[in-house]
A and B are shown apart, each in its own frame.
Chain A
Amino acid sequence: SQTIHQWPATLVQPVGSPLSLECTVEGTSNPNLYWYRQAAGRGLQLLFYSVGIGQISSEVPQNLSASRPQDRQFILSSKKLLLSDSGFYLCAWIGQGGLSLHFGNGTRLTVT
C-alpha cells in the first residue's frame, strides 16, 4: 500500500534561519507531488507541484523553493525564513491515472 511520510511534525525556527522539510512517498512510482501551506485560520494554499524528477512548478512567488531530487522525494526549502512563513505545511501526492489526492500529516512551522 502507498504511504506518505513528512518530517518533522513540528519545528520552531528563528527569523533568518534556513529551512528544509522533507516528504517521501512509498508504494508508488512517478507520482505528482504537492506542497501546500495553511496559515492559522486560513485555507490551503498551493505552493509547488511536481510532475517528475527535477520538474517544479511554483504557484506563489516567495522566499521558498522546492526540489525533487528523486522520484518519490519532495523537499521544501528556504535560505532565510520570515515571520510570515509560519504555518502548517502539507505534502501530498497523486498517482499516475489516480483520482484522489493523499496528504501527509503535515509539519507545523513556527518562525520566531
Chain B
Amino acid sequence: DAKTTQPTSMDCAEGRAANLPCNHSTISGNEYVYWYRQIHSQGPQYIIHGLKNNETNEMASLIITEDRKSSTLILPHATLRDTAVYYCIVRSSGGSNYKLTFGKGTLLTVNP
C-alpha cells in the first residue's frame, strides 16, 4: 500500500468546518483513499472512501486532487463528538492486497 502522511494534530472550533489533509504521493492507479476515525477507547469507524471523484455522505466529504497525490476530509459542521484520531489509508480494491496498514493519524480536537 502507498504510504500516507498526515499532520499529527489539528484544532477546530465547534460548528466550523474541519479540513483534514492527507498526502499520498505514491498512490497507484487502482488504489482507493479511505478515511477512518477512532474515538477514544473504541474501534475505528469507517467514514468514507474514493478513487478519483469527490465523494460525500452523511458523515463527511472527500476531496481528491486531480493528480490523486493528496486528499482532504471535510467535516462540514464539526461537533464536540467529532474529536477523534482520523486515519487516511490507501489500498487497492482487490487482487492479493489483503494487508491494511494504518499510520498514526491526525488527532482532531473540536473546541467549544
Decide if A74 is an interface residue (CB 8 Å cutoff).
no
Per-residue CB contact flags for chain A residues 41-52 toward chain B (1 = under 8 Å, else 0) read 011101001010
Cα distance, A71 to B32, chains bound together (Å): 27
Q: What residues of A have a CB within 8 angstroms of the CB of B87 in the complex?
A: 43-44
Per-residue CB contact flags for chain B residues 9-24 toward chain A (1 = under 8 Å, else 0) read 0000000000000000
When the two chains form their complex, are residues A100 and B103 in contact, meaning their CB atoms are under 8 A apart?
A: no
Given known pairs A43-B103, A99-B32, A99-B93, the reply for A32 and B45 (CB within 8 Å) is no
Given known pairs A44-B87, A97-B94, the reply for A103 and B44 (CB within 8 Å) is yes
When the two chains form their complex, are residues B101 and A46 in contact, meaning their CB atoms are under 8 A apart?
A: yes
> Which of chain A's residues 34-86 have a Cβ closer than 8 Å to chain B?
34, 36, 42-44, 46, 49, 51, 57, 59
Q: What residues of B have a CB within 8 angstroms of the CB of A34 in the complex?
A: 100
> Which of chain B's residues 82-98 have a Cβ closer than 8 Å to chain A?
87, 93-94, 98
> Which of chain B's residues 66-81 have a Cβ closer than 8 Å to chain A?
none
Cα distance, A100 to B57, chains bound together (Å): 14
Please pick, from B34, B94, B99, B101, the residue contacting A100 in the complex, using a CB distance under 8 A. Answer: B34
> Which of chain A's residues 94-112 have a Cβ closer than 8 Å to chain B?
94, 97, 99-106, 108
| Residue of A32, A43, A44 most packed against chain B (CB within 10 A) | A44
Decide if A90 is an interface residue (CB 8 Å cutoff).
yes
Which of the four size classes fits the interface of chain B?
A: 20 to 34
| Residue of A32, A34, A43, A106 most packed against chain B (CB within 10 A) | A43
When the two chains form their complex, are residues B99 and A46 in contact, meaning their CB atoms are under 8 A apart?
A: yes
When the two chains form their complex, are residues A90 and B43 in contact, meaning their CB atoms are under 8 A apart?
A: yes
Cα distance, A11 to B32, chains bound together (Å): 36
When the two chains form their complex, are residues B49 and A43 in contact, meaning their CB atoms are under 8 A apart?
A: no
Some 26 contacts from A to B, beta carbons below 8 A apart, are A32-B98, A34-B100, A36-B102, A43-B104, A43-B105, A44-B44, A46-B100, A46-B102, A49-B98, A49-B100, A51-B98, A57-B98, A90-B44, A92-B43, A99-B32, A99-B34, A100-B46, A101-B34, A101-B44, A101-B100, A103-B44, A104-B43, A105-B42, A106-B42, A106-B43, A108-B41
